[in-house]
Amino acid sequence: MTFQEDLSPLSNGEEAANNLNQTLATEPKEIKPQLRGLNYDLGVATVLYTFDQITMAKKNGEFICFREWLQREEQTKKWTASKKRAARSYLQSVFQTLGITEEFLLCDINFLIRDIDKQKESQPKLKRLWDKMLKWLKKHKDLGAKYVILDGQNRINHALVPFRYDGLGIPLGVNGQMYGDIKYNELDDYTRQQVNERKFRVSIIKGGDVTKVVDKLININDGEPWGDHERRDVLWTCVSFDIKEIAAHPKTLSLHQKTLKSKWTGSYAIEKKGITLFIAEMLHFLRNGDKGSSSSLTDMYGASDEKIDKQLDYLNELFKFVASHFPKELVSKNFTKETYRNLLMYMMMLTNPDEVTRGKNLIHNFKFSQITNPKLLLKRIIESHNKKFGNREDIVPFKRKTNISLTHEQAYQMEKDGRGGEVVWSNTNAKPGSYTAHHSGSSKNDLEARQNLFSSDLNLIIEECLNDSTLVTTDARSITSNDRLVAELKYMESDDCYEEEDLKNVIDKELDHDISVKLGGDASFENLNFIPKEDNRRKGAN
């Protein structure tokens, strides 16, 4: 059988090929003139900037970093490690190479502002979140910012600018001699002029689809693989912006990067943007009851439903509340990331039962303003978790260097006989379904089980806190119209001297808590008094 005969079912192939050739050669019909040929999604202008122009623009605030948008923290770590060896090596390479070899990527700040205005029109439900991004950009534009640095932040921030302004010394061959650590201010005038005039290629994005900026940057840095969350974290969405804002609050930042620094490992490593991953997982838990998968987290970053706005606000309040009152003395090697997740989860049960349904298992729910001693509450939750998690009754003991399991009675007897070193109590050998067992993973089933199994413990904490007024069932900041009226009458009948014709009134007065809410004061009329507005403002939030 011949080759052609093998293809007999395609006997019309030649005719089809001829038709295809004719189709390809024919001019496309009904295409708008502006869409003919290649279609572009980004408009980029390329210019040459000198070392003098780049460093001066960064120092003067004309070049800025947008909330570290598109910044890879793993690269930042490399540039600042080992006495800035990478920065020093980079600068030596730049100044000892003749010609233009370096390129930076900037984005016109006006382009970003225009794009956000468009996003507000297409996603009106998220207007408030887009407005927050817009406010940040416009504020910096008013301060003189012109461009946002996309690619090259580390080279500019940790090499070029420190060399010129911060006394960073570098190895450099000058005037026929090799110096190991020469500084910018030590260069002679001729050499300094050469350095200042060193040119760099700069691409400036001025129009198009801002989401394509991310693709362009990922392609530029393709040599270093991007993790799923790194890609997600740089998405141009208001969810991404707000999660970064939560992470960047000074108290939250301090808790995560100082107090709990050692807890962020593996995929949660700080340099891999693990903190924003953790916050994103808590947002996903709030919305869906689990920490999410890679794909569901990415989908969430594009969410545009009406709930997302309030959920992000609540999450920001929760993280700030916990960070402001966190009992640092309880942090030990046994305090893990999952302990922290539990603390936040149980606080959600306590303060947000509408979205965390297991909160309805509790005897009472509270607003943040009804927690009069936040640190004590957090401490009791952590200590109760530690006690429950370390409960030996949840663990099957076994004999060291064997696979032989022991009964609790056998294990206790061996310890009594002085052979405790032969007994192993390991959380990895926890009884199925126990509180400890549900900490070997953090699936939806694990998180639901933790909430269910801890509900009775949390109810005991609530009772204890109600007894000593760590928690109160009245809202200390909620003032009824009746209490306001009584407070007004109390003020009018006070013994302060005044002329009869100059009758007292509460105009330009404000209600003040005699005993501040922070110190356990309530909203009863006995604790309320009208005082001059300026005096109340001077006291600040109480």
pLDDT of residue 10: 39
Residue 483 or 327, more confident: 327
pLDDT of residue 478: 63
Residue 412 identity (one-letter amino acid) = Y
Residue 153 or 495, more confident: 153
DSSP string, 178-214: EEEEE-GGGS-HHHHHHHHT-EEEEEEEEEE-THHHH
pLDDT at 176 over 70: yes
Q: Quick one: tokens of 12?
A: 């019309």
pLDDT at 15 over 60: no
Helices (H), 262-373: 274-288, 294-301, 307-325, 337-351
pLDDT confidence band for 9 (50 / 70 / 90) = very low
pLDDT at 499 over 70: no
pLDDT of residue 79: 85
Per-residue pLDDT tens over the stretch 501-525: 444 566 667 777 776 665 556 666 6
pLDDT at 7 over 50: no
pLDDT at 385 over 90: yes
Residue 102 or 308, more confident: 308
Summarize the confidence of residues 309-317 as an average pLDDT.
Answer: 94
pLDDT confidence band for 237 (50 / 70 / 90) = confident
| 393 contacts 408 by C-beta, under 8 angstroms | yes
pLDDT at 202 over 70: yes
* Angle at alpha carbon of residue 115, lines to 111 and 117, rounded to 5°: 120
To the nearest whole percent, how much of the chain has pLDDT over 90?
49
Kindly report the length of the chain. Answer: 542
The CA-atom distances, in angstroms, between 115 and each of 104, 118, 123, 146 are 22, 5, 12, 15
Alpha-carbon radius of gyration of the chain:
32
Side-chain-side CA neighbours of 4 within 13 Å: the count stands at: 4
pLDDT at 534 over 90: no
| 394 contacts 408 by C-beta, under 8 angstroms | no
pLDDT of residue 261: 94
Per-residue pLDDT tens over the stretch 283-295: 999 999 999 999 9
Q: From 203, 225, 234, 268, select the one nearest 67 (Cα to Cα).
A: 234
| 446 contacts 485 by C-beta, under 8 angstroms | no
pTM over 0.85: no
pLDDT confidence band for 170 (50 / 70 / 90) = very high
pLDDT of residue 241: 85
Q: Quick one: tokens of 323?
A: 């960070």
Specify which of 123-127, 273-277, 428-432, 538-542 reaches the highest per-range mean pLDDT: 273-277
C-alpha 111/C-alpha 209 separation (Å) is: 10
pLDDT of residue 235: 80
Residue 403 or 463, more confident: 463
148: Cβ contacts below 8 Å, ≥ 6 apart: 63, 64, 65, 66, 69, 106, 107, 109, 112
- In 3-state terms, what secondary structure has residue 354? coil
Summarize the confidence of residues 30-41 as an average pLDDT.
Answer: 76
pLDDT of residue 529: 77
| 288 contacts 282 by C-beta, under 8 angstroms | no
For residue 525, how far is the Cα from the chain centroid?
42
Q: From 62, 65, 210, select the one nearest 130 (Cα to Cα).
A: 210
C-alpha 362/C-alpha 349 separation (Å) is: 8
Characterize 248-266 residue by residue with b for buried, 16 or more Cβ atoms within 10 angstroms of its Cβ, and e for exposed.
ebeebeebbeeebeebbee
Block residue for tokens 């400890």: 436
Specify which of 41-50, 227-236, 530-539 reaches the highest per-range mean pLDDT: 41-50
Q: From 211, 231, 213, select the one nearest 297 (Cα to Cα).
A: 231
For residue 364, how far is the Cα from the chain centroid?
30
Q: What is the mean pLDDT of the chain?
A: 84
* Lowest-confidence pick of 22-26, 106-110, 326-330: 22-26
C-alpha 321/C-alpha 319 separation (Å) is: 5
pLDDT confidence band for 70 (50 / 70 / 90) = low
Pairing mode, if any, of strands 177-182 and 147-151?
unpaired
